[in-house]
Amino acid sequence: MSIFRYLLPKKKNTAGVAKERLQIIVAHERTLRGGPDYLPQLHQELLEVVRKYVNVDADAVNVQLDRNEGIDVLEMNITLGDEAVN
C-alpha cells in the first residue's frame, strides 16, 4: 500500500509458488497412499531395471494402483524421453 513500494522492484509472490509445488507433490503422494506397502519399493526396483537399458529420470516411471468395482489394477507407465531413445 505504501507509495514507496511502487519505487521498489516487485517481489515474487512466494506463497503462490508454495501452493503450486504443494498441490503437485501432494497429488503425487496421494496416488501411492492406501496401496500395498511394497509399492514404493516396486517403483524403485522398476526404475533400476529400466535404467539398466535406458537413461531416464526418476519421474519417468509411474506406478499407480486403481480400485474399480472389486478389481485392483496395477498400472505402470514408463515414459522414455527423446534422449533416452537415442
Strand partners, 64: 75
CA pair distance 74, 57, nearest whole angstrom: 21
Task: Give 29 or 82: the residue with its C-beta nearer to another protein.
Answer: 29
CB of 25 to another protein, least distance (A): 6
Grid cell in block for residue 52: 539398466
Q: Is 59 in the site for another protein (CB under 8 A)?
A: no
Three-state SS sequence of 5-48: HHHCCCCCCHHHHHHHHHHHHHHHHHHHCCCCCCHHHHHHHHHH
Q: Is 69 in the site for another protein (CB under 8 A)?
A: no
Q: Is 49 in the site for another protein (CB under 8 A)?
A: no
Q: Is 86 in the site for another protein (CB under 8 A)?
A: no
Residues near another protein, by CB under 8 A: 1-4, 11, 13-16, 18-19, 21-23, 25-26, 29-30, 33-34
